[in-house]
Amino acid sequence: MTKLLSFVGTGQLYDTIYRLNGEEYHTAVVQEALCRYYKPDEVVLFVTREARSRNLPIIEAAIPSTPITIVDIPDGKCEDEIWDIFSIVTDSVHENDDIIFDITHGFRSLPFIALLSIAYLREIKPFSLSGVVYGAFEARETIHLESGKEISRAPVFDLTRFVSIFDWMAGVRSFLHHADAGVLEQMVNQISDEEFSQIQSRKGTKPLMDLLGPMSTYAASVRLSRPVEAMKTAYSIQERFEAATGAIKKHTPVLTPLLSKISEIEHFALPEPNILTDAVIQKQRDLIQVQLEMGLYQQAVTLGREWMVTVLLFAAGAGEEWLKKETRNEAENSLSGAEKVLSTQSKAQSLRNDKEKPRFLDWFCSHVSWKEMTGIWSRTSQMRNELAHCGMNPESLKVRQLQKKVDKFPDVLDKFYALMMGLPG
């Protein structure tokens, strides 16, 4: 059902020509102009006690052919009354309604409440918003009719695009704090579709569309713990962002400062992240930190354990092979083998069978800090297993205990790196 929601004011209604999207409507009642343009199935009028006695009869007489629902609201003179108005307005919107919200005569805080109501409703109810409109009588011009009579002509502003700011804010927040590009993808597709409907071309929004691919891939890479792809796509975003910024300024200029925050991920950008360098190691470490801040604990611990393997390979001079499955298996087996060495009474006995000995075990066990690093590796593996098995064990850690361990994980990683590289701790 299409509904026009409108506030009834108490001020004098002047004979006006309201102009909306090239159409003009001669009336003193803005609700009549809106009904003639949008043709709603129902008009919901919010009225205070004073508005009911003053202007409500005039409005009812102006739109006799449209069903009207009259809803009483308080004056909004205190906080409790404002909350009451908010509840009344939101309760007037039902699932699958198509809403046009008229705030022309919204007095005091009513326009603010209207916008908040829309933002709130979009989170809890499926409905569509066809317009947020404002009959700007104060922006009127005086014209002369053929009869010689002077009359005001006022624009009706469509403020719907301002409501989309909430969506853009949610999209940027979801991308930066939750590694989810879905909302931004929806918003970019929307403005691209609008451009196409107007000029049968997507040329202006193409730079934004070109940015979507790497943004979606980056977000998925963070969630799925794919650091190499995350760094590579962050570099692609960095390359394309300048062109996209031009499109942002053209189509959504007010959002430029907000959307520019996406460039924060350039910290993770590398053109060749498959070549192991200290920069790759540090950016992976920072990516683990981001995962933890996003609450992606299992992904962060899993990547952290793999990161330790990478640090070992880098320190052992096997960086050129760091992405080879066999090499990584050898490094992981060396760390796990060191656990066995620690658990035996004789190190010589545990290292006796050279054929079964992992490739990097001797090198690692000759490191001055090998015992401390082995303990870190062992505890990390235990935490990884604790997360992976989802508490399906009567002896599993409670959530609070596990959370404390996860919170300390960045310090554990930094300690492992410092020990491996011989840095002062």
Determine the structural domain holding residue 408 and report its residue range: 276-425
Instruction: Give the max Cα distance, the chain.
Output: 112
pLDDT digits (tens, 9 = 90+) for 352-371: 555 678 999 999 999 999 99
Could you give the CA distance from residue 159 to residue 111 in angstroms, rounded to a whole number?
A: 11
Sequence letter at residue 75 = D
pLDDT of residue 44: 95
Instruction: Give the phi and the psi of residue 71 in degrees, each rounded to 5.
Output: -120, 120
Sequence letter at residue 398 = K
Cβ density class 355-368: b for 16+ within 10 Å, e for less: eeebbbbebbbebe
Q: Are 102 and 127 in contact (CB under 8 A)?
A: no
Does residue 117 sit in the same domain as residue 241?
no
Could you give the CA distance from residue 190 to residue 194 in angstroms, rounded to a whole number?
A: 6
pLDDT of residue 347: 53
pLDDT of residue 264: 82
Could you give the CA distance from residue 234 to residue 266 in angstroms, rounded to a whole number?
A: 6
Start-to-end CA distance of the chain, whole Å, equals: 67
Does residue 293 sit in the same domain as residue 403?
yes
What one-character DSSP code corresponds to residue 18? Answer: E
At 350, is the pLDDT very low, low, confident or very high (cuts 50, 70, 90)?
Answer: low
The yes-or-no verdict on residue 35 having pLDDT over 80 is yes
Does residue 376 sit in the same domain as residue 283?
yes
Could you give the CA distance from residue 86 to residue 119 in angstroms, rounded to a whole number?
A: 12
Q: Is 6 left (phi over 0), alpha (psi -120 to 50) or beta?
A: beta
pLDDT digits (tens, 9 = 90+) for 92-102: 999 999 999 99
Does residue 317 sit in the same domain as residue 345?
yes
Does residue 235 sit in the same domain as residue 375?
no
The yes-or-no verdict on residue 196 having pLDDT over 70 is yes
The pair of three-digit structure tokens given for residue 366, joined into one six-digit string: 């000759």
pLDDT of residue 352: 52
State which of 256, 274, 292 marks the end of a domain.
Answer: 274
State which of 143, 158, 173 marks the end of a domain.
Answer: 158
The yes-or-no verdict on residue 259 having pLDDT over 90 is no
pLDDT of residue 166: 84
The stretch 1-7 carries a mean pLDDT of 93
The pair of three-digit structure tokens given for residue 282, joined into one six-digit string: 């540090």
The stretch 54-63 carries a mean pLDDT of 92
At 351, is the pLDDT very low, low, confident or very high (cuts 50, 70, 90)?
Answer: low
Could you give the CA distance from residue 76 to residue 85 in angstroms, rounded to a whole number?
A: 7
pLDDT of residue 208: 87
pLDDT digits (tens, 9 = 90+) for 117-131: 888 888 888 898 888
What one-character DSSP code corresponds to residue 4? Answer: E
Looking at every residue in the chain, the average pLDDT score rounds to 89
Does residue 236 sit in the same domain as residue 192?
yes
* CA nearest to 171, candidates 180, 190, 184, 185: 184
Question: With pLDDT > 90 as the criterion, what percentage of the chain qualifies?
Answer: 56
The yes-or-no verdict on residue 188 having pLDDT over 90 is no
pLDDT of residue 354: 58
pLDDT digits (tens, 9 = 90+) for 284-322: 999 999 999 999 999 999 999 999 999 999 999 999 999
Q: Are 311 and 416 in contact (CB under 8 A)?
A: yes
- Number of separate domains in the chain: 3
Burial class (CB in 10 A: 0-12, 13-18, 19+), 157: middle
Could you give the CA distance from residue 398 to residue 391 in angstroms, rounded to a whole number?
A: 8
At 152, is the pLDDT very low, low, confident or very high (cuts 50, 70, 90)?
Answer: confident
pLDDT of residue 195: 82
Tell me the whole-structure pTM to 2 decimals: 0.80
Lowest mean pLDDT among 79-93, 148-162, 374-388: 148-162
Could you give the CA distance from residue 341 to residue 361 in angstroms, rounded to a whole number?
A: 10
Does residue 295 sit in the same domain as residue 407?
yes
Does residue 315 sit in the same domain as residue 348?
yes
Does residue 73 sit in the same domain as residue 154?
yes
Lowest mean pLDDT among 94-98, 106-110, 139-143, 195-199: 106-110
- Which position has the higher pLDDT, 345 or 307? 307
pLDDT of residue 31: 93
Does residue 390 sit in the same domain as residue 301?
yes
Q: Are 122 and 132 in contact (CB under 8 A)?
A: no
Does residue 57 sit in the same domain as residue 131?
yes
- Which position has the higher pLDDT, 169 or 310? 310
Could you give the CA distance from residue 274 to residue 312 in angstroms, rounded to a whole number?
A: 16
Half-sphere exposure of 231 (CA within 13 A, CB side): 21
Distances (CA, A) of 117 to 44, 91, 238: 15, 10, 37
The pair of three-digit structure tokens given for residue 200, joined into one six-digit string: 């049968």
Task: Write down the residue that tokens 């002047």 correspond to.
Answer: 14
Name the H helices within 63-181: 79-91, 110-124, 160-178
Does residue 8 sit in the same domain as residue 142?
yes
Could you give the CA distance from residue 185 to residue 209 in angstroms, rounded to a whole number?
A: 8
State which of 158, 187, 206 marks the end of a domain.
Answer: 158
pLDDT of residue 90: 92
